Amino acid sequence: MCDANMMDDADWQALLAHIRAHPVEGNPAEMRRAFARLAPPPVAGKALEPGGVPCLSFGAGGPPLVWVHGGGLVFGSPETHSAMASYLAGQLGRAVIVPRYALAPEHRAPAQRDDVLAVVDALDGPVDLGGDSAGGQLAILAALHRPDAVRALALISPNTDRSGQSVTRIPNSPSDAMNDHASDLRLAKMAFGENLAADPDASPLVHELSALPPVWISAATSEVLLDDTLLFIRALGQEGVPVAARIERGLCHMWPLWPDRLAQARATLEAIAHFLNAAPVQGGDTSMEKIVSLSC
């Protein structure tokens, strides 16, 4: 199910056909190869190794944005997200650094979070931090562990809830071209183990969130993780954390991965750049009037 305007959008329909032609399934190695074929052609970046973690950097200037790629903590890479990161760097006018963090199931949580923390610790802070899907989950966890090192957070459809509060994971599975509840759950168990409730990092929503910096967050109405975003927005508001939210109609999970194909992807990345470039410096004005917005 999509918004009527999306149904008539030729670029969107072409992207849907591309997604359907490249299902991400099988064992972890097969999923990684499939996702690499699904992603846009790689854009060249500069190899870095802050904190001993291999990264690709796009653009130049600071403070940098550390972008944590999605892929359920099992697949994805700086290369799969290079088109997105390169476009975002151009809009920001600053460097975007994408860590090649350890992947599950070869490396169980918290290895992924710890790699992101190593990158943040090695950079001259404070930095901006962002991520999509499970990468957004890692970005939240890293910001919770390093509240003084992160200036602002940008999140696209982060996984925030494994506690059972989300009500869109099952109902939105048929309408999300890039995700479904069963697959999302399988990936999470590869990283966190069978008992997700035993690890609070599987559900950032249940953490104390008041120390987080200003947050920009987006999701699509048709995606599985919509309520993960809505619940997180509510929790941030209850904690008094400045938050800007952008809810898109009719798109699928991870739509900003394709700025080469989709105007809506470019618009989302441009909105992130605008927010981050307008975010207050550390110790500056973080008044809700200047930061909070909600758009559909």
Q: Given a cut of 60, is residue 294 above it in pLDDT?
A: no
Residues in CB range of 232: below 8 A, 6 or more apart:
155, 158, 160, 161, 204, 205, 217
Share of the chain above pLDDT 70, in %: 92
**Angle (CA) 139 144 150, round 5°:** 65
* pLDDT at site 71: 98
Q: Which of 2, 75, 68, 70 lies closest to 37 in space, CA to CA?
A: 75
pTM score of the predicted model? 0.93
For residue 292, the tally of other CB atoms under 10 A from its CB is: 16
Give per-residue pLDDT as tens, 49-102.
Answer: 999 999 999 999 989 999 999 999 999 999 999 999 999 999 999 999 999 999
Task: Pull the structure tokens for residue 271.
Answer: 């909105």
Cα–Cα separations (whole angstroms), residue 242 to 4, 12, 107, 221, 271: 32, 32, 34, 22, 16
Four-residue CA torsion sign, 246, 247, 249, 252: positive
Q: Given a cut of 50, is residue 115 above it in pLDDT?
A: yes
Q: Which pLDDT band, with edges at 50, 70 and 90, does 125 fall under?
A: confident
Give per-residue pLDDT as tens, 159-184.
Answer: 999 999 999 999 999 999 999 999 99
By the 10 Å C-beta count (0-12 exposed, 13-18 middle, 19+ buried), 174 is classed as exposed
Give per-residue pLDDT as tens, 14-34.
Answer: 999 999 999 999 999 999 999
Query: Mean pLDDT in the chain?
Result: 92
Only one residue has tokens 């910096």, namely 213
Give per-residue pLDDT as tens, 200-222.
Answer: 999 999 999 999 999 999 999 99
Residues in CB range of 1: below 8 A, 6 or more apart:
174, 175, 222, 250
* pLDDT at site 7: 54
Question: CA-CA distance, 28 to 250, in Å (whole number)?
Answer: 29
* pLDDT at site 84: 98
